[in-house]
Amino acid sequence: MDFNTLFRLLLTFNATSLLVIVYLVQRGITFGEFIADPSLPGLKAAISGLSYALYLAVPIVLTGLSLRLSRRLGSDTFQPGQVVSIEHANNSFLPSYLGYFFVALSINSFQTLVFVYLILFIFTYRSQALYFNPLFLLYGYEFYNVSTSSHVTLFLISKESFRTPKEVVIDKVYRINDYTLIDRG
């Protein structure tokens, strides 16, 4: 398996893992459940609290790792005049992402969670259109839809705040797939 495929699998996991986290929290599933000794209620409560922190930390850390690994992807550039239109895309994906949470809240069994997660994971991976991950926002990234002079629409992930197409001049962007690029600054 090549690096780009592994990288896209990691991005897909990062983008879809919040579904599992919401399910685990909603069901009260923690590592504290493995402590059977009733004489240790304080330890059980502490481990349960740490479980929630760990649930959230794993996708955040893996998102940070994916950002670091993105430098190993193939690169491209945005030359002056190449971008003819730009649209901020942060808010356009919020309804889709909120859908993950509502789906997670309605799942009643672990088997259903696995089934729904696998379908979501496969569709997210196979769509290859873009990799919207709200955890990128925690790292200061913004999302843009840009159209080029060659009539191609691309999804750009960048820390830069672009307002007009002429501002989009980037010496090196990394290509996640044919339609998704990340600017590492």
Domain range for 132 is 3-183
Predicted TM-score (pTM) of the model is 0.84
pLDDT in tens, 138-170: 999 999 999 999 999 999 999 999 999 999 999
Domains: count for the chain: 1
pLDDT in tens, 52-86: 999 999 999 999 999 999 999 999 999 999 999 99
pLDDT band of residue 130 (cuts 50, 70, 90) is low
Which of 21-30, 126-135, 142-151, 160-169 is least confident? Answer: 126-135
What residue type is 46 in one-letter code?
A
State residue 70's pLDDT score: 94
Q: Yes or no: say if 10 and 69 are a contact pair by the CB < 8 Å rule.
A: yes
